[in-house]
Structure 1
């Protein structure tokens, strides 16, 4: 056995052990919260009935206020980390059973016009004012958000900035927002396919790119193509279809990567979305294109199940007969 497979096996075993420990810790933490902290804090906290980040950047909250709160004037949701805090208006109203309820939607990220929260863990608290009196309540999250099935899924990142936001909780059950920096990526904005050719517009987030170029890779072939930047910050590349005619077989599949000096290539694709099947939902119609000096070519831009952009080129039957 070589050293590299041995190290890989040890890393996998360590990762498996870590996952088991995390799961056990989560079970113990939940049991501790339900049996000890929840009964002690029921009168001093607002209990969340619903908490989720639905569109990748908006925290949606619905909570029941404790019976000790009888009258409310104004209400705000406060996000706090250390000395930094951001506030958003909340709505308090009386429910069907006579209990006071609270609804709030907190937009995150200054790029989207929301609260400029940085990377880290942010406490979520409800601030209440009635007359000259004020009160602050933690938001108790008994059950964490549960992923749902269907054609869509919760967005893992902001569609504007790529930053990642999720709902978490402390060991005592207090809800909080955990923010993470955007993972480097190249997100496709538009694919323009016509009889004249194919061009792709995309944007880059989570990293700085210097001296960029695009690479088209298929069947051992690699084509480099320049990229341009527009005034709105989007990037553009023209697909070199005249060089992409299949050689050894009737059909070839081309992957596209953004390259730059000193950084790893980034696959172009669509990942900032909430659909489970990008291949079906973001379908692009195929077309017959006649590259200059070449036989007609069937071009089909599409997305893989992982969201990577791929261009499938197929020789026309009559052209294949002459090959």
Structure 2
């Protein structure tokens, strides 16, 4: 087992009291600087990878014991207006200016972040882009931001259910879908449905309820896949969240819907325990 080497020259490092990526896309750091005679005038964190440098302003203040503390909140992702990090490992350096003197410090992460308990959990990916960011550390204990591209997925953005029908807006992440369409599948049945493009990688799906009435008295469960001419197959779902019980938190109502030319049925969109989107259709009791 490799043991962490902790540098003895603490004056070259800012010791992290807290480090985490709270929302899947924002690096949050709280660190204590080495002792100094006065509070520095300015501080910034620089994300470095190869020749790339991206500075982010930091906030300096004094703690209750007179120690110098620094707080950083760095949004990741050019699409979000944040730091344009690409796939790879990014070193974090702290630049501190006092008068005319500038020092460069490493962030020392003595203990890795510990997962917490409760109704929510740490986000493992950006809820907007799907890109994955996590904190790591070098052999010497210096903190790193490790970024990975989004996994291919079809993420539900909005579900709109009314008496006239059901529509679903979703985003395609991690891949470029080529002439995509939706495929609904229940036991022994398949229905294909075209999509409407709302923007880059954003689509609207009108659920074809007229082709989905139950054949018997038992509910029928329809799973939804995105397919394209390149042969891709992605389950529609909602996975980019931080809740531990999505079935309860993202529960949706049941509603009586009457598709044109058909009798009324009960429609309930919902998510499976794995986060997949599903539509359950049931006959109205008086129609049976």
Normalising by structure 1, we get a TM-score of: 0.86
Q: Which whole-Å CA distance do the structure 2 matches of 1:224 and 1:293 have between them? A: 19
**2:196 matches 1:228:** yes
Report 1 or 2 for greater relative contact order, CA contacts < 8 Å, sequence distance ≥ 6.
Answer: 2
| Equivalent in the alignment of 1:311 | 279
| Equivalent in the alignment of 1:47 | 15
Q: Contact 2:181 / 2:195 at 8 angstroms: preserved in 1?
A: yes
Q: Which whole-Å CA distance do the structure 2 matches of 1:307 and 1:44 have between them? A: 45
Structure-to-structure mapping, 1:180-191, within 5 angstroms? 180-191=148-159
Structure-to-structure mapping, 1:153-164, within 5 angstroms? 153-164=121-132
1:263-303 CA deviation, whole Å, 9 max, x = no partner? 33111111111111111111111100111222210000011
How many residues align? The count is 288
| Equivalent in the alignment of 2:163 | 195
Q: Greater CA deviation, 182-191 or 68-77?
A: 68-77
How far apart are residue 172 of structure 1 and its match?
0.8
Q: Which whole-Å CA distance do the structure 2 matches of 1:176 and 1:69 have between them? A: 29
Task: Give the gaps of 5 or more residues in structure 1.
Answer: 1-27
SS at match of 1:55: coil
Q: Which whole-Å CA distance do the structure 2 matches of 1:51 and 1:203 have between them? A: 30
| Equivalent in the alignment of 2:118 | 150
Task: Give the gaps of 5 or more residues in structure 2.
Answer: none
Q: Contact 1:141 / 1:169 at 8 angstroms: preserved in 2?
A: yes
Q: Greater CA deviation, 82-91 or 244-253?
A: 244-253
Which structure is higher in helix share? 1
How far apart are residue 39 of structure 1 and its match?
5.1
Normalising by structure 2, we get a TM-score of: 0.96
Structure-to-structure mapping, 1:135-146, within 5 angstroms? 135-146=103-114
Pairing partner for 2:71 from 84, 89, 103: 103
Q: Which whole-Å CA distance do the structure 2 matches of 1:219 and 1:303 have between them? A: 18
1:181-237 CA deviation, whole Å, 9 max, x = no partner? 011111111111111111111111110111111000111211100011024752011
How far apart are residue 248 of structure 1 and its match?
4.4
Q: Greater CA deviation, 248-257 or 52-61?
A: 248-257
The Cα RMSD (Å) is 1.4
